[in-house]
Amino acid sequence: MTSEQRSETATFGAGCFWGVEAAFRQIPGVLATTVGYEGGRTEDPTYRDVCSHTTGHAEVVQVEYDPARVAYDQLLNVFWDEHDPTQLNRQGPDVGDQYRSVVFYHSPEQRAAAEASKAAQAASGRHRKPIVTQIVPAETFYQAEDYHQQYLEKRGLSTCRIG
């Protein structure tokens, strides 16, 4: 990154973080992605802790991006496209509060954009059920274990979608 470039951070929970991370990594202007855990009560949780449904964390992807190359609204579009925001605490076969749909905003501008985007999704007619996505302030992000980082890419896969 040159001294003129600046980066911003966006954080999204949209089910299992492997496929969501892979989708964000394809977007020009995304500088880096890191999977991890956010929104819970336990400090420095492990994957096993989060899967125990006792920590309250969501599986999330933290996206570092260049706002001169990709708009936050474009990242929101990827977020909506990568999961079903009408499923409460699940995505497909994955069930639990760690799979909830959530936008962790890092600024008032991100909050406003996320709320407007959610309203547009609700009004679009695309979803038959109400959107349950949470839009909440960013909290402490805990990086997931190394084997979760770029999981699909390391295995030569582009998606973990079934069907």
Question: Of 81, 157, 88, 142, which is closest to residue 117 (Cα–Cα)?
Answer: 81
Show the tokens assigned to 146. 């190394």
User: Using the 8-state DSSP alphabet, how is residue 157 labeled?
Assistant: -
One-letter amino acid at 49 equals D
Tell me the backbone φ, ψ of residue 94, rounded to 5 degrees. Answer: -85, 120
Tell me if residue 160 is catalytic.
no
* Structural tokens at position 131: 């959107």
Q: Which listed residue (16, 58, 78, 138) is catalytic?
A: 16
Residue 101 in tokens: 């749909």
**Between helices 17-25 and 72-81, what is the axis angle to 10°?**
140
What is the set of active-site residues? 16
